[in-house]
Structure 1
Amino acid sequence: MKTLFSFILAVLLLQTSDGIAHDIYVSVKGNDQSKGTRAQPYASIKRAQLEARKVKGKVAVYLLQGTYYLSESITFTPADSRKTGEEMVIKACPGNKVIISGAVPLKLNWESYEGGIMTARITNDIDFDQLYVDHKQQRMARYPNYNPSIRFYGGFAADALSPDRISKWKNPAGGFIHALHKAEWGGYHYEIKGKEDEGKLKLEGGFQNNRQMGMHDKYRFVENIFEELDTAGEWFFDKAEKKIYYYPTQTNAALEKASIEVPQLKHLFEFKGSVARPVKNISIEGLELAHTVRTFMETKEPLLRSDWTIYRGGAVFMEGTERCQVRSCYFNTVGGNAIFLSNYNKNSTISGCHIAYAGASGVCFVGDPNAVRSGSFEYNRFVPLEQIDTARGPKTNNYPQNCKVENTLMYGLGQVEKQVAGVQISMSMDITVSHNTIYDVPRAGINISEGTWGGHVIAYNDVFNAVLETGDHGAFNSWGRDRYWHPEVSVMNEIAKNHPSLITADVVKIITIHDNRFHCNHGWDIDLDDGSSNYHIYNNVCLNGGLKLREGFYRTVENNIILNNSFHPHVWFANSGDVFKHNIVMRNYYPIGINHWGKEIDHNLFPDSAALKKARLAGTDQHSVYGDAMFINPEVGDYRVKPGSKALAMGFRNFPTDQFGVSPQLAKIAKKAPLPVLAKPIQVSRDPIVQWLGVRIKNLETLGERSATGMSSEKGVLVLGIDASSPWAGILKPNDVILGFRQREINKMADLLNEQERVKSNQSIELTIFRNQNTQKVKLDKPIK
């Protein structure tokens, strides 16, 4: 009897210990004809997958140590789905390092070429997109050479496409041009198809940005050009000759023994289900994923009216899943996105992962555009009001919902593409982004592309060193260019006024941002842009860039700490319903284009009497006060306030400022956020406002003014207002930027006033202005001097 009881107990323990009932083993030294046990493991994950389909109960597929070079993606379909309680996990065997690689390993016979360059013939029929030597990524031959200390691209040159340089390239076909967007809103990529007779390049590409303005004339570089192979670590593959040329970083003897890996796959794991037949209850855990190809030339799909185009794919691609997970995986320098959740995904989770130096984004949640009512797909496009579908919410269920990305470390993203984010959310609902650490990114750490369909919770994240290679953006960034939104402010204002129910027809649930720490280098710590609506923002620490709200509705911002900066309201509408209260700011506000101050702007703590006075003169903060916030220990990031702080009297409530970011285990390998030295209160002097022919003007001089107008640089003359008696009444509008006077370029007010002096009384004036993201001409036939 005792023996029977012991046997039953052992069986129960086996079934309940870690929830595993059946184990399958795989080894790079295994055999697919063996039994799949630890002693006799299979050789391939695919073989283990097929065996798991036959097994009832929970299944663990253990991968033994080694690098698994995949010839094709591991794909899970509805045939692999598991019942709840019978989940399957593919994981590294405890204590074993497992790498899942999309590369082909090569053994090459190197020969000397010239100037220290080595060459080898490639017998395999493979694509050469990247090269790894001894597991380190090398760089394509490029101009200018890579220098990590340079902000943009690690090196840029205005003459990268000069006729003189192009003339030196014998056959540049297969080369690439990488350039920032003209306004520094992401970037463009082009493949060189050859040279025209007159020396110009034949190009294909430029579709990687949804706000077409052309490439930046300075911030750009070229790569994969043989004549630019001139420094250690660079390489070039001659496709016609099937030869690789490499300028080694090691001795020739060491190169002969070096491992050579060339990525071939876009995806390593794919989950492919649908709304009707999802893939359920499958996880991957504890794996290193590496060597996927770059996908920048496939980044083509526009995301509604955001600035983005995307490629639906990643090292892990998930579509049509329920309760699937990616846990504790290390994404090591993958070529494109690390993880992409496309269309229907429900209750699926990314947790405990480490994503380093991805070519594009970290984790993307992107739904089906066909689920969107009255969707538009470019900034200047819109559905006429009379044609708008007024039903609330999505049309279908084909989008990510109730999914999470948590406790994940992400850094060095956007190695190739620049319109990227640590976490990107578009056409999704109820996405939770919590306890992540995201830093050293070229654009946003967390980006919400539009209002569809809200319900997201952004909490306890540590996002810093953001917007490193672009501009006019935020560590957290959002747009709200939903169905009611119109690119012309006056039209949108009328739509919102007369049809207020449309404002939340897409963002049907409140988006919550709380208990995060944000730091942005070239923009705002929190940037709610272009119609972002229905937000509750509280208990956040802004370390550097302040907080911006532009032309949206129903935003409540309370109990935040804004260090060395302030509140940036841009272009608000009447009856916005916006609230800004119980916050600590350390500068005066920076309003642009504000005629209406929302529902409540009050009970805040200012740094000094001058800042408070300025707010009260604008009509806000009648009950706010000024004074020292009395932070407990700002040197170590403790921004709670001491008893007796005036902030507490204003309704501010202390919240923990040491709970941001990933778990202690991941935090050990992460950078620390840059804590600011708290500056003394200052009043920033600005160029004066002057009257010109009944028009109030000033120099466009700040990032805020640039953002509010959509300008690509701080130049031109900003129109603040027009008197009814002005000859320009009805012609110029507030927020116009004057860029030209007749045939003369206008950079500053002095240019404009000097040109006006040249005009004779009977001459007309034609101005070049920037309005609603476009350059246009306006004319005054009879000027008044």
Structure 2
Amino acid sequence: MKSINLYLLLLMSLTGSLATAAQGRVSNDTVYIPADISDYMPPLYGSAGRVQHFLREQREAYPGKTLAIVFTKPGTYYIDTTLVITPELANGNGAIVFMPTHPGDSVTLSGGRPVTVKWRRWKKGIYKATLDLPYNFDQLYINDIQQVRARYPNYDSSARHYNGSAADALSPERIKTWKHPQGGYVHSLHKGEWGGYHYRITGVNPDNTLQLEGGYQNNRQMGMHATHRFVENIFEELDTAREWFYDQPNKTLYYKPAPGTRLSKASVVVSRLQQVIALKGSADNPVRNVTIANLRFAHTAPTFMDTREPLLRSDWTIYRGGTILLDGTEHCTIRDCEFDHNGGNAVFVSNYNRHALISGCHIHDAGGSGICFVGNPDAVRSPLFEYNESQPLATIDTVPGPKTNHYPDSCTAYNNLIYRTGTIEKQTAGVQLSMAMNISVLHNTIYDVPRAGINVSEGTFGGHDIAYNDVFNTVLETGDHGAFNSWGRDRYWHPNRDTMNSLTAARPELILLDALYTTRLHYNRFRCDHGWDIDLDDGSSNYYIYNNVCLNGGLKLREGFYRTVENNIILNNSFHPHVWFKNSHDIFRHNIVTTAYKPIGIRYWGDETDNNLFPENTALPAETDKHSLSGDPGFVNPIAGDYRVKAGSPALRIVFNNFPMDSFGVVSPELRLLAKKAPLPMLAQQRLLTTSETTWLGARIKNIETLGERSAAGLPDNNGVYIMSVPDNFPYRLQAGDVILKAGDTAVQKVSDLLNAYSRQGDKAKKLTIFRNQRQQIVD
């Protein structure tokens, strides 16, 4: 019993109480309540209502004491309904703790339902069983391993997008082979690869096209990607091992097991609940002092068809929930838990929350995001929700800061291992911040994600401390993004660049009304092979970025204000300044870059761009960096990832300061043992990019050749001709940054298409279709 008491003492210390008695007794500080409060036999089936009832009774009997919900038996507890903890259950000065009795016990709280089925052989290696359930389900687990719902194309673990995608997934030829596709799903990337869409099939048209509902899962509507799509839950596509299909009208489950599977002995679990535990309070009456520790959470239902709430003017829509939901809490902790193959978000910190702590957690194979801190739009002054929305200056609320306190503040994600999130939804992140303030994201290891590792959706309200994280293998399925990504489409921001130029020049005080406090990004290691290591996109403002290692994708600052970037190491890449404002007050100094800068649409260079180290003299820019140097930085041990510089390095002469290279990522020995290692780059001096640049009627034009050019223009692909500069008296109403998409009726994918169309068609080519301010328009 001594070991139990020591373990409880550790847990109770988090909530300010002392555990001095063994399980099953009332001590001076703690009441222990067995979670398995009935004579359950394995598998243990927990009644959330009964647990709530006992909590209420014990809270009334012992106000102010800590109530410890202990799981006395190892195993899986299948919760019948979401266990909701309200302020009434956590009132007074007491606390609630959920935990196993013994520190080594393996206890799972499941959002699924165990079912007993009798399999019988059907045909082509497929088995079937009668299963009478009052609801449909989206995930099936055989022997606690998630199986694959019948799909086309078949699951391929090596495929980059969706584990298999195909342009013909929605072809009429394939659709006409399906007898009853209603209830099936279509999953597709966004046309611009900015996340994904999901649709439920509701019928088939006479021309063998599908009737669909959905497609609201992205806040920038552009339609489905032409290639990266797949269908699932289609009976006729059940044709390979591990696939399954549930025919609910006929109460029949079909499954094709992998060779060697003994179905007669196999456990079968189906997904049921979207949330296992929800802490539900409010700003006026919060849930306080709840700790959830050392538990595994599994089998929750996917939420991709409920992901419909837009997050201001970012690209996101969200489902405001997770396997664990914190909504209206103070001083609540989720510690040392595992989130394993859940269908949606793992942890969602919603609306008013103060001092929430998520630490030591192992989060993997989640359908949605890992950890989300998301406030309520009613906390934002003059909120807008879709990218193209705007409002006149006279209607903008000019009071600084939040309108209400309905947002997470002073919360922390510390020492969490997060990987393979976004297995279903693609506009996701390992850690997501939106409408929040002073969030600390520290010592997390995040990798193998379809989009950003860490994402900040807008400037509201800043003050975040993002440090000592190790983030890599990111943007694996999407595009135009970064290992760290942010937007800043705050109340001052306007989708028309000319309007925004005028607005911010006339009223610069608008810029920091939402981004109140500086966000610090420091001592991190980032790697992105399909975008930028650090990507500050549209309008991101008020950042201090220092002492980071960028392993591959470089660092991008798009239009925004008050960004200071210093003492960073950018390997095999460089600084990407994109379309800055005249008075951005941006600073880039004392950094090591390993290729020439890659500016796009830059007319103004901020307050200071100088005292940086370049690989060679030819990389030094003429218009900036009057005191910068070139040369070999002399890294201590780059093969081992030690990018400190040796004595005598020219980096020391530009006032670069060494910083530790062994403090990235998770810190607990258990998680460090599990975590993958970031792939280190093979350093090589890169030649400057040769381009297709040429002149046309005196204008400088080129192909869209880089991700930076595509991002700067907001294009969904690399098709079009980029306008670099336009001379006076040019015959077309074009400007630098425009992209020509059509000349007359001829599609323009590259410079040769434009030149050929103009020479061949003459006057017929005089009407140009261009892309400006992220929308098509016609000029002549």
TM-score bracket relative to the smaller structure: over 0.9
Q: CA offset at residue 665 of structure 1? A: 2.1
Q: CA offset at residue 70 of structure 1? A: 0.6
Whether 1:107 aligns to 2:108 is no
- Residue of structure 2 equivalent to 1:670: 675
**8 A contact 1:701–1:715 mirrored in 2:** no
Once residues 264 and 56 of structure 2 are traced to their aligned partners in structure 1, the CA distance between those partners, rounded to angstroms, is 39
Once residues 764 and 227 of structure 2 are traced to their aligned partners in structure 1, the CA distance between those partners, rounded to angstroms, is 38
Q: Secondary structure at the match of 2:368?
A: coil
- Residue of structure 1 equivalent to 2:231: 222
- Aligned to 1:591, which of 568, 586, 599? 599
- Aligned to 1:50, which of 45, 56, 59? 56
**8 A contact 1:133–1:261 mirrored in 2:** yes
Q: CA offset at residue 123 of structure 1? A: 2.5
**8 A contact 1:23–1:62 mirrored in 2:** no
Letter in 2 for 1:654: N
- Aligned to 1:491, which of 499, 510, 514? 499
1:117-132 matches, within 5 Å, as 117-132=126-141
Q: Secondary structure at the match of 1:682?
A: coil
- Residue of structure 1 equivalent to 2:176: 167
Once residues 143 and 280 of structure 1 are traced to their aligned partners in structure 2, the CA distance between those partners, rounded to angstroms, is 47
Q: Tell me the alpha carbon deviations over residues 336-362 of structure 1, each in whole angstroms, 9 at most, x when there is no partner.
A: 000111100011111111101000000
1:183-332 matches, within 5 Å, as 183-251=192-260, 254-332=262-340
- Residue of structure 2 equivalent to 1:7: none
**8 A contact 2:48–2:83 mirrored in 1:** no
- Residue of structure 2 equivalent to 1:706: 710
Q: How many residues end up aligned between the 2 structures? A: 750
**8 A contact 2:572–2:686 mirrored in 1:** no
**8 A contact 1:31–1:43 mirrored in 2:** no
Q: CA offset at residue 770 of structure 1? A: 1.1
Letter in 2 for 1:676: P
- Aligned to 1:747, which of 742, 746, 749? 749
**8 A contact 1:27–1:42 mirrored in 2:** no
**8 A contact 1:30–1:42 mirrored in 2:** no
Q: Tell me the alpha carbon deviations over residues 452-486 of structure 1, each in whole angstroms, 9 at most, x when there is no partner.
A: 11011101000000000001000000000000101
- Residue of structure 2 equivalent to 1:656: 660
Q: CA offset at residue 646 of structure 1? A: 0.9
Q: CA offset at residue 335 of structure 1? A: 0.3
Once residues 75 and 363 of structure 2 are traced to their aligned partners in structure 1, the CA distance between those partners, rounded to angstroms, is 20
Q: Check 1:550–1:242 CA distance in 2 against 1; reply closer, same or farther (3 A cut).
A: same
**8 A contact 2:133–2:248 mirrored in 1:** no
Letter in 2 for 1:778: V
Q: CA offset at residue 639 of structure 1? A: 1.0
Q: Secondary structure at the match of 2:88?
A: helix
**8 A contact 2:468–2:523 mirrored in 1:** yes
Once residues 453 and 349 of structure 2 are traced to their aligned partners in structure 1, the CA distance between those partners, rounded to angstroms, is 17
Letter in 1 for 2:249: A
Letter in 1 for 2:470: D
Q: Tell me the alpha carbon deviations over residues 681-705 of structure 1, each in whole angstroms, 9 at most, x when there is no partner.
A: 2222322432212322111110000
1:565-584 matches, within 5 Å, as 565-584=573-592
- Identity of counterpart residues, as a percentage? 55
- Residue of structure 1 equivalent to 2:401: 393
1:359-438 matches, within 5 Å, as 359-438=367-446
- Residue of structure 1 equivalent to 2:86: 77
1:321-360 matches, within 5 Å, as 321-360=329-368
Q: Check 1:657–1:122 CA distance in 2 against 1; reply closer, same or farther (3 A cut).
A: same
Letter in 1 for 2:79: L
Letter in 2 for 1:292: T
Q: Tell me the alpha carbon deviations over residues 35-60 of structure 1, each in whole angstroms, 9 at most, x when there is no partner.
A: xxxxxx99964355334413232332
Task: Name structure 2 gaps, 5 residues minimum.
Answer: 1-11, 22-26, 41-46
Q: Secondary structure at the match of 2:168?
A: helix
Letter in 2 for 1:188: Y
Q: CA offset at residue 124 of structure 1? A: 3.3
- Residue of structure 1 equivalent to 2:724: 720
Q: CA offset at residue 28 of structure 1? A: 4.2
- Residue of structure 2 equivalent to 1:694: 698
Letter in 1 for 2:760: R
- Aligned to 2:636, which of 632, 635, 641? 632
Q: Secondary structure at the match of 1:493?
A: helix
- Residue of structure 1 equivalent to 2:471: 463
Task: Name structure 1 gaps, 5 residues minimum.
Answer: 1-11, 33-40, 780-785
Once residues 409 and 662 of structure 1 are traced to their aligned partners in structure 2, the CA distance between those partners, rounded to angstroms, is 7
- Residue of structure 2 equivalent to 1:766: 767
**8 A contact 1:144–1:155 mirrored in 2:** yes
Q: CA offset at residue 29 of structure 1? A: 7.6
Q: Secondary structure at the match of 2:56?
A: helix
Letter in 1 for 2:673: K
Q: Check 1:18–1:458 CA distance in 2 against 1; reply closer, same or farther (3 A cut).
A: farther
Q: CA offset at residue 16 of structure 1? A: 3.8
Q: CA offset at residue 126 of structure 1? A: 3.4
Letter in 2 for 1:765: K
Q: CA offset at residue 777 of structure 1? A: 1.4
TM-score, normalised by the number of residues in structure 1: 0.93
TM-score, normalised by the number of residues in structure 2: 0.94
Once residues 15 and 458 of structure 1 are traced to their aligned partners in structure 2, the CA distance between those partners, rounded to angstroms, is 31
- Residue of structure 1 equivalent to 2:8: none
**8 A contact 2:137–2:301 mirrored in 1:** no
Q: CA offset at residue 764 of structure 1? A: 6.5
Q: Check 1:27–1:373 CA distance in 2 against 1; reply closer, same or farther (3 A cut).
A: closer
**Range with greater deviation from structure 2 (733-742 or 158-167):** 733-742
Letter in 1 for 2:521: I
**Range with greater deviation from structure 2 (762-771 or 355-364):** 762-771
**8 A contact 1:28–1:67 mirrored in 2:** no
**8 A contact 1:28–1:44 mirrored in 2:** no
Once residues 212 and 587 of structure 2 are traced to their aligned partners in structure 1, the CA distance between those partners, rounded to angstroms, is 49
- Aligned to 1:92, which of 90, 94, 100? 100
Q: Tell me the alpha carbon deviations over residues 233-263 of structure 1, each in whole angstroms, 9 at most, x when there is no partner.
A: 00011121011110111447x1011000011
Q: Tell me the alpha carbon deviations over residues 110-145 of structure 1, each in whole angstroms, 9 at most, x when there is no partner.
A: 111111100011123232211000000001100000
